[in-house]
């Protein structure tokens, strides 16, 4: 334990260890170092603990190592009052935990650079065996216009690592008034944070609160600077500081966040993330990268690079191009709506997942996975996938859903669902609708023969599965409050599209069942001899309808015109319950009883061996 002098001179260290022959070592025992920087007035460089010039601090056997340093609290303009500074030195344990905690010093008059922990000049901080490494730096006080008050700085080739245990690096930036450039955690000039084996790496940083520029939570900058692992997962959580350009996580100038060499997933959590040009975020082919907001209910804007304070989390297509991974996961159930405001196109085949606690709205551009799959996972109803973009919404090998698809119907013209239009989901690739609920809404009241192509599936790939409760040919009664039926087909359009076809409902009054067409009613096994089918007034352009049962056809609201009827039921009778026009009547077997109503036929034909009777 050491305390620096209180004079107004400079470099009042709590503990100083300097030179290649300088060591502090424990044999099989725990080691704890506590240093308090001194100084007064305008003095500066009052480090709590300072290891320099190839010095060594270590424990052997099962000994733990704890280092706690606080920078001097000089009251003048002095700066560089660092809590713990390790410069060209090694700090290690043989097989147990290692912790470094630094509190920057200074005062409100200080001109800056009062970092909590600063690791520099190829220093190595390492824990052997399964030992954990924990570093926490809290920046000190400074003046209004100061900068460099970083929580933890890994600089100039310094490395934080382990043999197999987890590594945690945390930092809290400082600064007041209009101060800027105060980072929570900075990895710069070839600094490296990593972990050996399957050890996980966790980095958490909070930017300074000043209103100046560039108060970043986590900042990875310059060639060979990186946050990586030997095979474990890497997680970064960044809290943006004050000022208009405060950003949660920033990677710049060839800095990298990567598990490419050894495997492991990457998680980036912040309300603002800036992956600048020439930087990379990468895993190997089986790894994943997750981007999500820090704060619950913050929205995600895919396609934008605005990065506003507090969200929405804005991620541009160019930034996504700088991510290399087998699976790209965007969002979580805790965040707000995801909006795709401009096109997102992967440069390599990537499986993608979009998770939201609100809607997934594709409204300004499509998503192209370049051959990968895409999962869209909005929250439960009333939230849904809402495709209002008027181009191709999704290009993927397979598109699947974890919740609902919403279609807005305000007219019969294809569009974005506004005005007198309806929207559709347009897909290049296969579409899996298994477990998906179809939601529809709008002000339009459909009429007979309206048709809505709601899923436009390119090519020849058949639709996989079906909407929940809507098998092929199923009908939706009183569709959009129209009193009509909408029949669904997954074989519509060019043969593999989902179409809703609106028609007058055919009602089996005997069995209390609605059918979307007369063909469906007569083909159903539930329609039997003696049943009464009520047919709304109108013209039906279905192909030839075969009647092989004794049924009564009863127009409702006026006469009915049928395109073609084949009467083919030995011993069966079709009874008219109102006026009918049949453009083509083909009589094979059975009877037609007009029951006193008018029957007008365009043509009547029958085979030479036909047995038929038409009576009144």
Considering the domain architecture, whether residues 397 and 462 belong to the same structural domain is answered as yes
Domain of residue 274: give its range: 252-330
Rounded Cα–Cα distance for residues 417 and 384 (Å): 15
- Residue 283 contacts residue 255 (beta carbons within 8 Å): no
What's residue 334's pLDDT?
97
Considering the domain architecture, whether residues 102 and 202 belong to the same structural domain is answered as yes
User: In this structure, is residue 182 part of a structural domain?
Assistant: no
Q: Which two tokens mark 27?
A: 């044999």
pLDDT, mean of residues 350-357: 98
Rounded Cα–Cα distance for residues 88 and 101 (Å): 18
pLDDT band at 395 (very low <50, low <70, confident <90, very high): very high
pLDDT greater than 90 at residue 459: no
Virtual CA dihedral for 86, 88, 91, 92, nearest 10 degrees?
150
Rounded Cα–Cα distance for residues 571 and 589 (Å): 8
Rounded Cα–Cα distance for residues 82 and 419 (Å): 63
User: In this structure, is residue 235 part of a structural domain?
Assistant: no
Considering the domain architecture, whether residues 596 and 575 belong to the same structural domain is answered as yes
- Given 503, 528, 552, the domain boundary residue is 503
Q: List pLDDT tens digits, range 230-252.
A: 999 999 999 999 998 999 999 99
- Given 308, 330, 352, the domain boundary residue is 330
- Residue 221 contacts residue 244 (beta carbons within 8 Å): no
Q: Is the dihedral of CA 255, 260, 261, 262 positive or negative?
A: positive
User: Could you give the percent of the chain with pLDDT greater than 70?
Assistant: 99
- The residues near 470 (Cβ < 8 Å, ≥ 6 apart) are 438, 476, 488
pLDDT, mean of residues 565-576: 90
Q: State the total domains in the chain.
A: 4
Question: Residue 585 carries which DSSP code?
Answer: E
Considering the domain architecture, whether residues 3 and 139 belong to the same structural domain is answered as yes
Q: Is the dihedral of CA 291, 295, 297, 298 positive or negative?
A: negative
pLDDT greater than 60 at residue 562: yes
User: In this structure, is residue 364 part of a structural domain?
Assistant: yes
pLDDT, mean of residues 602-607: 82
Q: What is the DSSP string of 226-248?
A: EE--SSS-EEEEEE--SSTT--S
Phi, psi angles (nearest 5°) of residue 522: -75, -25
User: In this structure, is residue 240 part of a structural domain?
Assistant: no
pLDDT greater than 70 at residue 313: yes
SS3 assignment, position 201: strand
- Residue 438 contacts residue 467 (beta carbons within 8 Å): yes
According to DSSP, the residues that pair with 306 across neighbouring strands are none
pLDDT, mean of residues 331-358: 98
Considering the domain architecture, whether residues 258 and 302 belong to the same structural domain is answered as yes
Of residues 538 and 613, the one with the higher pLDDT is: 538
- The residues near 213 (Cβ < 8 Å, ≥ 6 apart) are 180, 181, 243, 244, 245
What's residue 607's pLDDT?
55
What is the CB neighbour count within 10 angstroms for residue 148? Answer: 24
User: In this structure, is residue 530 part of a structural domain?
Assistant: yes
- The residues near 443 (Cβ < 8 Å, ≥ 6 apart) are 410
Considering the domain architecture, whether residues 201 and 97 belong to the same structural domain is answered as yes
Rounded Cα–Cα distance for residues 123 and 88 (Å): 5
User: In this structure, is residue 547 part of a structural domain?
Assistant: yes
- Residue 459 contacts residue 470 (beta carbons within 8 Å): no
User: In this structure, is residue 429 part of a structural domain?
Assistant: yes
- Residue 70 contacts residue 34 (beta carbons within 8 Å): no
259 sits in the region (left: phi over 0; alpha: psi -120 to 50; else beta) called alpha
What is the CB neighbour count within 10 angstroms for residue 537? Answer: 15
Alpha helix (H) residue ranges in 489-587: 518-523
Considering the domain architecture, whether residues 469 and 490 belong to the same structural domain is answered as yes
- The residues near 137 (Cβ < 8 Å, ≥ 6 apart) are 83, 84, 101, 102, 103, 104, 115, 116, 117, 118, 150, 151, 152, 153, 170, 171, 172, 185
Among 63, 32, 189, 64, smallest CA distance to 118 is for: 189
Show the CA angle centred on residue 7, arms to residues 6 and 10, nearest 5°. 105
The number of residues making up the chain comes to: 616
pTM, 2 dp: 0.88
User: In this structure, is residue 107 part of a structural domain?
Assistant: yes
- Residue 522 contacts residue 546 (beta carbons within 8 Å): yes
Considering the domain architecture, whether residues 6 and 94 belong to the same structural domain is answered as yes
What's residue 406's pLDDT?
98
Rounded Cα–Cα distance for residues 156 and 222 (Å): 10
What's residue 611's pLDDT?
56
**Backbone Cα Rg of the chain:** 36
Rounded Cα–Cα distance for residues 151 and 102 (Å): 8
- The residues near 503 (Cβ < 8 Å, ≥ 6 apart) are 448, 449, 484, 485, 486, 487, 516, 517, 540
pLDDT greater than 90 at residue 361: yes
Side-chain-facing half-sphere of 47: CA atoms under 13 Å: 16
Q: Percent helix, strand and coil across the chain, each rounded to 5? A: 0, 45, 50
pLDDT greater than 80 at residue 144: no
* Mean of pLDDT over the chain: 94
Whether residue 88 has a cis bond before it, omega within 30° of 0: no
Q: List pLDDT tens digits, range 286-311.
A: 999 999 999 999 999 999 999 898 99
Considering the domain architecture, whether residues 28 and 147 belong to the same structural domain is answered as yes
Whether residue 312 has a cis bond before it, omega within 30° of 0: yes
Considering the domain architecture, whether residues 401 and 466 belong to the same structural domain is answered as yes
Rounded Cα–Cα distance for residues 483 and 230 (Å): 64
Considering the domain architecture, whether residues 311 and 343 belong to the same structural domain is answered as no
What's residue 571's pLDDT?
87
- Given 452, 468, 503, the domain boundary residue is 503
SS3 assignment, position 291: strand
Considering the domain architecture, whether residues 369 and 472 belong to the same structural domain is answered as yes
What's residue 590's pLDDT?
87
């Amino acid at each position: 334990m050491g305390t620096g002098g209180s004079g107004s001179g400079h470099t009042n260290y709590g503990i100083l260890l300097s030179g290649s022959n300088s060591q502090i070592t424990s044999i099989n025992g725990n080691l704890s170092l506590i240093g308090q920087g001194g100084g007064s007035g305008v003095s500066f460089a009052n480090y709590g603990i300072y290891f320099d010039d190839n010095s060594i601090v270590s424990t052997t056997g099962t000994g733990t190592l704890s280092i706690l340093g606080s920078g001097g609290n000089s009251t003048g303009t002095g700066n560089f009052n660092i809590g713990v500074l390790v410069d060209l030195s090694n700090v290690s344990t043989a097989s147990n935990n290692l912790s470094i905690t630094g509190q920057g010093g200074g005062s409100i008059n200080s001109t800056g650079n009062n970092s909590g922990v600063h690791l520099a000049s190829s220093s190595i901080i390492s824990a052997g065996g399964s030992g954990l490494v924990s570093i926490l730096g809290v920046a000190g006080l400074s003046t209004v216009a100061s900068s460099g008050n970083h929580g933890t700085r890994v600089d100039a080739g310094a490395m934080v690592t382990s043999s197999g245990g987890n590594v945690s690096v945390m930092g809290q930036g400082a600064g007041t008034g209009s101060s800027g450039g105060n980072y929570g955690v900075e990895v710069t000039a070839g600094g490296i944070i990593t972990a050996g084996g399957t050890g996980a790496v966790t980095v958490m940083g909070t930017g300074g609160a000043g209103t100046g520029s560039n108060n970043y939570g986590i900042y990875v900058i310059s060639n060979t600077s990186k946050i990586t692992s030997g095979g474990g997962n890497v997680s970064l959580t960044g809290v943006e500081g004050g000022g208009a350009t405060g950003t949660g996580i920033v990677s710049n100038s060839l800095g990298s966040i990567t598990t490419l060499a050894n495997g492991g997933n990457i998680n980036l959590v912040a309300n603002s993330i800036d992956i600048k040009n020439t930087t990379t975020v990468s895993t190997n082919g089986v790894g994943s990268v997750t981007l999500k907001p820090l704060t619950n209910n913050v929205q995600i804007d895919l396609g934008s690079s605005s990065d506003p304070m507090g969200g929405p989390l804005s991620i541009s297509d160019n930034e996504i191009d700088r991510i290399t991974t087998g699976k790209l996961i965007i969002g979580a159930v805790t965040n707000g709506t995801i909006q795709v405001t401009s096109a997102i196109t992967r440069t390599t085949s990537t499986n993608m997942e979009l998770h939201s606690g609100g809607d997934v709205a594709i409204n300004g551009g499509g998503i192209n996975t370049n051959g990968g799959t895409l999962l869209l996972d909005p929250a439960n109803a009333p939230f849904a996938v809402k495709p209002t973009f008027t181009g191709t919404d999704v290009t993927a090998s397979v598109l699947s859903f974890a919740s609902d698809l919403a279609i807005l119907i305000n007219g019969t013209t294809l569009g974005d669902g506004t005005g007198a239009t309806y929207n559709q989901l347009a897909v290049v690739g296969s579409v899996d609708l298994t477990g998906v609920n179809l939601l529809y809404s709008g002000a339009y009241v459909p009429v007979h023969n309206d048709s809505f192509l709601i899923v436009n599936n390119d090519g020849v790939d058949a639709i996989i599965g079906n909407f929940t409760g809507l098998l092929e040919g199923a009908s939706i009664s009183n569709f959009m409050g129209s009193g009509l039926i909408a029949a669904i087909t997954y074989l519509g359009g060019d043969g593999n599209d989902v179409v809703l076809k609106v028609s007058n409902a055919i009602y089996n009054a005997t069995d209390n069942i609605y059918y979307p067409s007369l063909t469906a009613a007569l083909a159903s096994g539930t329609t039997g001899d003696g049943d009464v089918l009520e047919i709304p007034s109108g013209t039906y352009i279905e192909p030839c309808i075969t009647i092989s049962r004794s049924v009564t056809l009863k127009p409702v609201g006026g006469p009915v015109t049928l395109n073609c009827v084949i009467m083919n039921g030995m011993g069966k009778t079709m009874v008219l319950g109102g006026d009918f026009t049949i453009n083509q009547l083909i009589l094979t077997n059975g009877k037609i009883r007009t029951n006193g109503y008018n029957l007008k036929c365009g043509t009547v034909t029958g085979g030479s061996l036909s047995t038929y009777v038409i009576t009144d």
